[in-house]
Structure 1
């Protein structure tokens, strides 16, 4: 499938997270431990919010992340308080820039690991559910982007958890109408520049792996000699497909069929249930 990370907190040079940890996302692009595939080399993308801009910047390429000099150059010079990064293993759609995550629409960023089972059978019916005013903004051919535009259609601007729940409910209903069982397998991150929402869900069975970092003050107590922890605020958080290192006690698994919110002043984990739109 794919591997991804979402960072929120003290503005940070991207390479601190993308390259420097022992099991960084760049390492995971070649040596994933918890994914369906070990190698995630079918393109990559990063997206970040600059302090002066309302909408995020994105950079995509179709080659593997581990050998991309432009990615390393950008990561060494861009500092941001909220950023996404994603390395892709295609589930059947083309390897092209428009299929690379994160996807962007206005102030929103979206990335996904997983798949809609039988997407080639469901694609037309799913895309007919997208608001006609949004349809022309779809650039690629992935199930992930279709999910994003369905969530936008079902109210992402006003109610992100509800919009994602309605998106999943719609996908499951369409799949049932086409005789496709247990269609949804997903971990999702979506952000508006101030907050990040994450979701871990499967229609059946165990969802793909997802972890969040512990509170920084707890980590400082556990690992007082770790330099990185001295320079970030207590509200700094990472959500990742798999842990970036082996610091004991640093990572908590996001429970199955759960969503979370990371925002200044509070974090939240709650049950995720699909809804019919």
Structure 2
């Protein structure tokens, strides 16, 4: 379906994460190991916040071509340094390959990206869109289930309670799907951020949820691999959440349990159970 990563920590050139690891996100666009599709070539996107936070909102660049041969992406990655960024490579589940359908999606200070699908979205789309707050609805630009999920979360209180808003979004999707006879309506790994805290969710209504991993704490990795220069250059607060590991470094990656979500923020990371909630 898709592959994505979320980085938070010491400001770093995007190139160091997008291209340099042995199994980087760019490599995954051609050679995914854990995704439903090996190739993810239906567009890509990156979104980032400035190191000083002066703009308040993230910059987002998206394109419909594959990430592996995009010269503009390579150029941007070698010159942009950010303390928090999202990157996503897309494999469409049926909606059009167009720029407005590429992730991450942005609204105000928020960014959102998704891997997975709403089963039967063509049938459920109208009902789900009618549940979006009317003042938010005009800002939906594309035709994906992922963007509708984002705007439902915004409708259900993303500004005040991100985990609760995502749980209520998932609850509505499941209730609507079940009403149409769909046994397992929702499959998702989702990352969402307000520019300071990142939340990452792994959930499926049925079957196995899509893969999701988080990086081991930097101080523990330094003890395991004292020879790696990169680990000496980043803070203890630096974290990555990824659809699949960026390499085979022993001890570097941990699987997010199914039906859980993680919170990444300075000094207060957490891993907690997740379940859909009634609206």
Q: Under TM normalisation by the shorter chain, which class is it? A: over 0.9
> For residues 235 and 266 of structure 1, what CA distance do their matches in structure 2 show?
9
> For residues 67 and 258 of structure 2, what CA distance do their matches in structure 1 show?
29
Structure 2 gap segments, 5+ residues each:
none
Q: 1:169 matched to which residue of 2?
A: 171
Instruction: Give 1:206 deviation, angstroms.
Output: 1.0
Deviant stretches of 4+, over 4 Å: none
> For residues 70 and 273 of structure 2, what CA distance do their matches in structure 1 show?
38
> For residues 85 and 250 of structure 1, what CA distance do their matches in structure 2 show?
20
Which of the residues 216, 220, 223 maps onto 2:225? 223
Instruction: Give 1:132 deviation, angstroms.
Output: 0.1
Q: 1:37 matched to which residue of 2?
A: 37
Q: Between Structure 1 and Structure 2, how many residues are aligned?
A: 277
Q: 1:246 matched to which residue of 2?
A: 248
Instruction: Give 1:88 deviation, angstroms.
Output: 0.2
Instruction: Give 1:225 deviation, angstroms.
Output: 0.9
Q: 2:278 matched to which residue of 1?
A: 276
Structure 2 counterparts to residues 1-277 of structure 1, below 5 A? 1-50=1-50, 51=52, 52-277=54-279
- Residues 64-118 of structure 1, C-alpha deviations (whole Å, 9 max, x = no match): 0000000000000000000000000000000000000000000000000000000
Structure 1 gap segments, 5+ residues each:
none
TM superposition score normalised by structure 1: 0.99
Instruction: Give 1:205 deviation, angstroms.
Output: 1.3
- Residues 10-67 of structure 1, C-alpha deviations (whole Å, 9 max, x = no match): 0000000000000000000000000000000000000000122100000000000000
TM superposition score normalised by structure 2: 0.99
